[in-house]
Amino acid sequence: MVSSASTTGAKTGISATQETYFDRIAQMNLKNPRLIGFGISDYESFMKASKNASGAIIGSAFVKMIAQAKDLQAEIIDFVQSIKGKK
């Protein structure tokens, strides 16, 4: 699912309005897993999205981190750990 009608990377966080939308979709009892993308960039937004779907897609935040990385391997590990809330 797309969390908002915006360009990816343009917005961060999940609002109450978006959570209401996710609830409406969940009540449809669709047979396919639901993944949420757009605005997923940190632990908090990842957890909110994961609470409302089968998972979350992090795109722009990851690409931006890679573009700015000095030590790519270490920074990827740090990024993933921060999303998991283990940093």
Q: Is 72 contained in some domain?
A: yes
Q: Is 9 contained in some domain?
A: no
Query: Domains in the chain: how many in total?
Result: 1
Q: Print the domain residue range for 72.
A: 16-84
Residue partners of 19: CB distance under 8 A and separation at least 6: 48, 52
- Whole-prediction pTM: 0.70
The CB density around residue 61, as the number of other CB atoms within 10 Å, is 19
Q: Is 10 contained in some domain?
A: no
Q: Is 11 contained in some domain?
A: no
Q: Is 67 contained in some domain?
A: yes
What pLDDT score was predicted for residue 39? 82
Q: Is 57 contained in some domain?
A: yes
Q: Is 76 contained in some domain?
A: yes
pLDDT > 70: percent of the chain: 84
**Residue ranges of the chain with per-residue pLDDT less than 50:** 6-7, 9-10
